[in-house]
Amino acid sequence: MRATEAFLLSHPVFSWSDWKREMGNGRSEKTLRNLLSYYLKRGKLKKVDRVYCVVPPLTEPSTFVPDRFLVASKLSPDSVLSYHTAFEILGFANQVFTTTYYSSLRYKRPFSHQGIRYVCVKLPLSLKLNPFFGVVKVERMGMFVRVTSAERTLAECLDRPEYCGGFEEVVRCVSSLPFIDEDLLKAYLKLRGKRVLFAKVGWVLERLRDRLFVTEGFLQWLKEMSPKHPVSVCRGFKGEKVFVKGWNLVVPLPWLAALEVI
């Protein structure tokens, strides 16, 4: 089997850097680009943004929808599947979204392709020196993709619930977890250093403590790290809000209702 065919067989989705690294072997960049153009014209490849996707045999390229998880994993050199998309690929999502979220140090404008929207969420500055903390690798179609761990995903979705379909969906996803690695979650929260996030995580885990086997010691630590004065979350929310005693959070009333039904 030729090297090119072997590469395409083992890389259903790949980036230019993947192609150059694996197929260089003394070839000029022009030759490598011409080879890609040849396969694109023959309908063996199609592009999604700058990502190359192998079209399966006997499949019409115009109707072929590449695996969105693999595509997102190649949209940036440091792509990490995150937020609701991480819950999906880890098997803890309550719903399946057409929007696919990935994180990167460099922001990239969202775009849509064949009904799937790809959204890049820029990493917070506190993770700039350690962007892959709490990241795991998951096998997908013979390739491995970077995904935020369940614990990091929990924290990030509570920090930015809009990237998880809202607070209720976050709670439903979190309640599907079998347990929480408290050490990993603690280390991630310390890295972020965001007091309101300590409180959000503590409030939710307190309500789900029996289901997720959360220890009293961990909850106490989260309370110690929480804000000392009331902090309002979701400031753009226009409806009724309630004060969450013990965590110094002022949250939308629907958030309280979402936790009540779990």
- Whether 10 shows a pLDDT value over 70: the answer reads yes
Q: Is the dihedral of CA 152, 155, 160, 162 positive or negative?
A: positive
The runs of H, that is alpha helices, within the chain are 3-10, 16-23, 29-41, 68-73, 83-90, 150-159, 167-174, 182-192, 195-207, 209-212, 216-225, 253-260
pLDDT value for 2: 84
For residues 207 and 259, give the distance between their C-alpha atoms in angstroms, rounded to a whole number. 7
Task: Please give the model's pTM, rounded to 2 decimal places.
Answer: 0.95
Q: What is the dihedral of CA 91, 94, 100, 103, to 10 degrees?
A: -70
How big is the chain by its Cα radius of gyration, in Å? 21
pLDDT in tens, 16-61: 999 999 998 888 999 999 999 999 999 999 999 999 999 999 999 9
- Beta pairing, strands 51-54 & 80-81: unpaired
- Whether 250 shows a pLDDT value over 70: the answer reads yes
The DSSP call for residue 238 is -
Q: Among residues 29, 158, 174, which one has the least CA distance to residue 92?
A: 174
pLDDT value for 25: 84
Backbone angles phi, psi at 144, to 5 degrees: -110, 130
- Whether 211 shows a pLDDT value over 70: the answer reads yes
Q: Could you state, in order of their start, the residue ranges of all structural domains in the chain? A: 3-54, 68-260
pLDDT value for 31: 93
For the residues 187-209, what does the mean pLDDT come to?
A: 97
pLDDT tier, 82 (very low <50, low <70, confident <90, very high otherwise): very high
- Helix-helix angle 150-159:182-192, to 10 degrees: 40
- Whether 5 shows a pLDDT value over 70: the answer reads yes
- What is the number of helices (H) and of strands (E) in the chain? 12, 12
Mean pLDDT of the chain: 95
pLDDT value for 260: 84
- Whether 237 shows a pLDDT value over 90: the answer reads no
26 vs 83, which has greater pLDDT? 83
pLDDT in tens, 150-172: 999 999 999 999 999 999 999 99
